[in-house]
Amino acid sequence: MLFNRLVTELKHSPRSFIYLRSKGYKQSDKEFEEIIAKNDSVFQRTRIVRKDENGVRQIPGWPGVDLTKEYKAASAPAKQ
């Protein structure tokens, strides 16, 4: 159930772990990292850009997760 919920959440854009927790996920950063590692054909680590109040990009950004390009391509509806 967690796997499918996470895939659905990531279909349109990558998400930070902080955002996912704000949506009800209970996993810690370490637990998200473990899920990504166990399902590396579906999920990949990413960094979410964050900016300060002046719009200056903060490095390194928030840790997050995205779907792999291969998974997105395989799950996309076939074009006719």
55 pLDDT band (50/70/90 cuts)?
A: confident
Average pLDDT, the chain: 92
Average pLDDT over residues 4-24: 95
Asked if residue 62 belongs to a domain, the reply is: yes
Q: How many domains does the chain have?
A: 1
Q: Tell me what pLDDT residue 48 has.
A: 93
Q: Do the domain assignments include residue 80?
A: no
The pLDDT, as a whole number, for residue 75 is 85
Whether 71 is covered by a domain: the verdict is yes
pLDDT at position 1 is 87
Instruction: Indicate left, alpha or beta for 40 from its phi (over 0: left) and psi (-120 to 50: alpha).
Output: alpha
Q: What is the pLDDT of residues 23-42, one digit of tens each?
A: 999 999 999 999 999 999 99
Give the range of the structural domain holding residue 51, as residue numbers without chain letter: 2-75
The beta strands (E) that lie in 26-68 are given as 43-51, 57-67
**In the structure, what pLDDT confidence band is assigned to residue 60 with cuts at 50, 70 and 90?**
confident
Residue 45: pLDDT above 80? yes
Tell whether 41 is covered by a domain. Answer: yes
Residue 66 lies in a domain: yes
